[in-house]
Chain A
Amino acid sequence: MSQSLRTFLGFVLFAAALAVAPLVFSSGLAITMMSLMGVMVIFALSYNMLLGQTGLLSFGHAVYYGLGGFCAAHAMNYIARNKFGVPLPAIPLVGAAAGLFFGAIFGVVSTRRAGTVFSMISLGIGELVAALAGIQRSFFGGEDGIATNRVKLAPFFGYKFGPQVQVYYLIAAWCLICVVLMYALTRTPFGRMCNAVRDNPERAEFVGYSTQRVRFQAFMLSAMFAGVAGALAAINFELMNSQAIGAGTSGQVLLMTFVGGIGHFFGPIIGAVLITFLQISLSDITKAWMLYFGLLFILVVMFAPGGIAGWLSLHTPLLRGGRILNLAPSYALAAIPLAAVVVGGIALVEMAHHMLVEAASDGSKMHLFKIAIDGASPVAWIVALALFFGGAFGLKLVWPRIDDAWGEAQATGEKA
């Protein structure tokens, strides 16, 4: 099968998945969650245009997401007030224009240099805009933010986008458009030169390309797509507040993109879906959920720098000929100490969180995995520590086996 046919089929599958998802997961929570996933997929992919494709580590990408969202919210209010006949599905174009505009302004300053200088400037701009959001109340709406009402816009073929499922399909349609466009960009001369500038900026200059111009163009386009994501968020929540523009959101998109995998186009999609899912479901289960994200990020950076997509793509060649089955016994063996590490780790985090934050008011008794334990008892701590370090030691013991199984699986592949 040719590369382009495979890509085309991939997009058809993606579109089909977007279309049937609300039929499979039809609960209100699921549709709300999937709407947010769609927004985050666009946001994370736009971020990877910088990080993965062009090698620019930005700490302020939320600026363009947030400004796109605020401009979209104001545009919606303005259109509704003046009864212009603009339907809701056109609003993301406002976000795109806003992202492009601010991307051009801040990009001129920040893309003169790459590396640490770029990162520091992006951080500075992020802080600057976040600080401005606290002061400039008429545009950013202070602590309340800017509220809007998506139903007040002109209907689109009879749809008023009141029900969440209609919003989901609006987001899904824009998500598909943006994903296709961002993928197409990677296949253009410009997209290839982004990779060249990432790999070796000096050499790119000696084949006729201004690295600054390549970075600037990448930055503007990336900000434009972030603006679309921001506008969709404004439509989804009917509210934009300064949280969307701050360092937290910038950190979140970095987390999603990196955990998903920056080396593959589809990596950030996986990251956005997974992290959004965890964010919504974990925050219901534990109050220490932020801590788990921090741990997840550290673990991925240390042990799987290619992210989930990188890990998956290591396994795809083994799928052919079923060689992946040879790995199953050693993976199964590793699962036991891994489970111990995870359970021990969760116990440590939860007990620490309980004792530090809640014990003063609620006492030291707590529930973990539906088991009643006492956070003040040394036994509970010893068990948790033993599980964690015992598991880690066990993992170290079985690691050579996995390594061998890997080598074997690959060697048979080369022979075949």
Chain B
Amino acid sequence: MSAALSLKDVRKNFGPTAIIRGLDLEIRQGERHAIIGPNGAGKSTMFHLISGRIGVTSGSIELKGHEITGLAPYEINRRGLSRSFQVTNIFPKLTVFENIRCGVLWSLGYKYSIWRFVDRLRDANSRAEEVLDLIGLSARRETPAGILTYAEQRALEIGITIAGGADVIMLDEPTAGMSNTETEQAVALIAKVSEGRTLVMVEHDMSVVFGLADRISVLVYGQIIATGAPAEIRANKAVREAYLGEEAH
């Protein structure tokens, strides 16, 4: 079975500055994989490269065995990879329900249709309702997304990401800025929505990482210095020095 995602010697320079310096990584199908690393290590840049938001300088990225390097974000999304953002990235003027439905439409084949009414698309509407239910925002369905609370917006962000049914989900710091209770709820939500899918997650909160991840990769200064099960990573000396050690203090 081919890997869900495979990065081979991926590099990214911004001008003379090398941000990603030869990244090799394999994400197995169906696993929950966390990417950790200090600030400025290039975690978000790596997400941007995989999802097509910015182009690689060199190297190749494969999604389920197919080359996706250089494709536009929408093309990558149509091949089954969906991502969330570190800074909440929703459709603020649309209602919560509309937000989710926008995430559903393409995957059900409605494309740019001008021949059907959205309100009559039973499959799209029931799928959107399911997702709303899953992320616990059914009661807020008619609220404009821009006026939701921060935690609700983060949940909506995850909802939009999973709505299209992509089998590889990438979440960029899904619990950043949340209170403890909110984080617990978010972790439960992530566990629920990632069932049966491949999850790649950037996260700073170590309790979230060690609670959720099957495997962890440590990114330091644009390179993966270790990949392994949580226990291995915890025991890895280089990782402790480079990153976890700082956290322990």
Mark A residues whose CB is within 8 Å of B.
Answer: 4, 184-185, 187-193, 195-196, 198-200, 202-211, 213-214, 217, 221
Contact = CB atoms under 8 A, between A and B. Distances in A.
A187 B116 CA distance: 8
Interface of B: 51, 53, 72-74, 77-78, 82-83, 85, 89-94, 98, 101-103, 105-107, 110-119, 121, 124, 160, 163-164
Contact of B160 (A189, A193, A207): A207
B77 A206 contact: yes
Given A206-B82, A208-B164, A193 B77 contact: no
Contacts of B119: 4, 187
A203 B160 contact: yes
A207 B72 CA distance: 12
Contact of B77 (A4, A190, A196, A208): A208
Nearest to B98: A192
A199 B112 CA distance: 17
B75 to A, nearest CB: 8
B104 to A, nearest CB: 8
Contacts of B92: 199-200
B112 A192 contact: no
- Top 9 A-B pairs ranked by shortest CB distance? A208-B106, A199-B91, A205-B73, A189-B110, A208-B77, A196-B102, A207-B103, A189-B113, A190-B114
Name the prevailing secondary structure of the A interface residues: helix
A4 B51 CA distance: 39
Q: Which of B78, B102, B103, B116 has the most CB of A within 10 A?
A: B102
B74 A206 contact: yes
B102 A207 contact: yes
Contact of A206 (B73, B98, B110, B113): B73
Contacts, number: 99
Contacts of A4: 119
Q: Which of B89, B94, B114 has the most CB of A within 10 A?
A: B114
Given A188-B115, A208-B107, 17 more contacts: A184-B117, A187-B119, A188-B113, A188-B116, A189-B111, A189-B121, A189-B124, A192-B102, A196-B94, A196-B102, A198-B93, A200-B91, A207-B74, A207-B82, A207-B106, A208-B106, A208-B164
A192 B77 contact: no
Given A203-B91, A206-B77, A188 B102 contact: no
Q: Which of B89, B112, B119 has the most CB of A within 10 A?
A: B112
Contacts of B78: 208
Nearest to B92: A199
Contact of A190 (B112, B121, B160): B112
B95 to A, nearest CB: 11
A199 B93 contact: yes
A203 B83 contact: no
A200 B74 contact: no
Contact of A192 (B51, B82, B105): B105
A205 B117 CA distance: 22
Contacts of B83: 206
Contacts of B73: 205-206
A157 B106 CA distance: 46
A188 B116 CA distance: 6
A392 to B, nearest CB: 33
Contacts of B163: 207
Contacts of A202: 53, 89
19 contacts: A4-B119, A187-B118, A188-B113, A189-B110, A189-B118, A190-B112, A190-B113, A191-B114, A192-B94, A192-B101, A192-B102, A200-B89, A205-B73, A206-B89, A207-B164, A208-B74, A208-B78, A208-B107, A213-B112
B91 A193 contact: no
B105 A193 contact: yes
Contacts of A208: 74, 77-78, 105-107, 164
